[in-house]
Structure 1
């Protein structure tokens, strides 16, 4: 190893120590000024996934979008404009992004795997902000898209961006009293 390599390695270690001390000092200062931060703030949840901010862990979302649609039938007419007929409301959709960062106390690989498992199971869950549920029904994860932004030399994902799409889950209610026992 050359003199230059030793100097760079030493400088890098000193810089990492200084940054770590600076980070700890800032977090300590914030914790003393904002006591709620050290206790953690629960922003909401999606099933058992808790959106939270604390000095130990950050698991939040951004770019929240909710869309509501209606269903219409289009009736074609010869020589005339088609007639649009309202049928019923369509299921709602919610999309948001999440950033998972090892330096913010979460494992990007584990968090993303958890979302993928919930998506593949089709498990219906409540989406809650604060203490209020969002929508009249539960939600299912329709899709999870991930992009790894930083990977270390060992192949471990350090930072990832995840796009989540939720669909409103309206349960089928079986009514035995109806003729033939049909679903409503």
Structure 2
């Protein structure tokens, strides 16, 4: 994840194409008789950020991603903007969304879109700076007195654990998508050359059988975050989708095991129904998973 705006993630490889940030200051100009005018600092301008995105059907659903951005704009709310390294940039509103379709299919569905997202800082008071006396007093304390309380130490560990679990889930989801695509490619091959498809089938079966344990572990890791009230809803939804994907992959493995020469096309065709259920599970998982990634980025996992 390169950055997150609210609960919207921007991936450096698949979506993100550039970021432009503009900052400035306001100065009042005072005229002087017989001399040049002088400037007086008034205040800083609101920061503005423009994000360039490239959405392609090869790695996402361009229509759905645009609708997600449009829905966020129409909420007219300030959203936290955080880079993937945890650098909090502040709260921003979506001031403008522009999109240009570059490629469509025969039915008019978008295949490739270039989009520009204009963000404007929401404003507000900066967080108060520590008082000099307090900072001086803290500096004089022994190192042992400066340790974080046990609860905060656990909080830091849980933040790292959530980010790691989200990354783990994304990885296993990517593998499920690969299996779905491979099964469909083999089905097309089986229609032309059943023998060639049968030869490649063991490789697909191996990938399918390896997925179930990974989905199980990811679900167990995600369940640990159901104890936090701010995460429980999303964590439960992700866990349910992972469980459904696991059941689907297990069913596909049983279906393909022991396939004979004359069964290749029929069994791969039967896999399509399983693939459809898996895609539904992955779509239902996407939104809560993005929400968890956003909360990890802005450190919002406390009860």
TM bin, normalised by shorter chain, reads: 0.5 to 0.7
Q: Which residue of 1 aligns with 2:257?
A: none
Q: Is the 8 A contact 1:50 1:59 kept in 2?
A: no
| Partners of 1:97 and 1:164 within 8 A in 2 | yes
The structure with the greater share of residues assigned to helix is 2
- In structure 1, the residue matched to 2:55 is 100
Say yes or no: does 1:46 pair with 2:5: yes
Q: Could you tell me which residue of structure 2 aligns to residue 157 of structure 1? A: 110
Equivalent position to 2:16, from 61, 68, 81: 61
TM-score between both structures, scaled by the size of structure 2 = 0.38
Q: Does 1:118 align with 2:72?
A: yes
Name the CA shift for 1:67/1:134 in 2 (closer, same or farther; >3 Å).
Answer: farther
Distance (Å, rounded) in 2 between the aligned partners of 1:43 and 1:75: 44
Q: CA deviation digits over 1:25-55, x for unaligned, max 9?
A: xxxxxxxxxxxxxxxxx233111111237xx
Alignment match of 2:81 (pick from 99, 124, 127): 127
Residue 117 of structure 1: CA displacement? 2.1
SS class of match (1:109): helix
Q: Distance in 1 between matches of 2:123 and 2:81?
A: 14
SS of 2:35's equivalent in the other structure is coil
Residue aligning to 2:26: 71
Question: Which is greater in Rg?
Answer: 2
Distance in 2 (CA, whole Å) between partners of 1:132 and 1:89 is 24
| Counterpart for residue 141 of structure 1 | 94
Output the aligned Cα RMSD: 2.2
User: Secondary structure of 1:45's match?
Assistant: strand
Give the whole-Å Cα distance in 2 for the aligned partners of 1:60 and 1:152.
20
Runs of 4+ in 1 over 4 A off after TM superposition: none
Deviation, structure 1 residue 71: 1.0
Distance 2:26 2:14 in 1: 35
TM-score for both structures, normalised by structure 1: 0.61
- CA drift of 1:121 comes to 2.1
Q: How many residues matched?
A: 126
Q: Distance in 1 between matches of 2:66 and 2:17?
A: 16
Structure 1, unaligned stretches of length 5 or more?
1-41, 174-184
Q: Which moved more, 1:156-165 or 1:81-90?
A: 81-90
More strand by share: 1
| Structure 1 residue 172: Cα displacement | 7.3
Q: Is the 8 A contact 1:126 1:133 kept in 2?
A: no
Shift of 1:111: 1.0
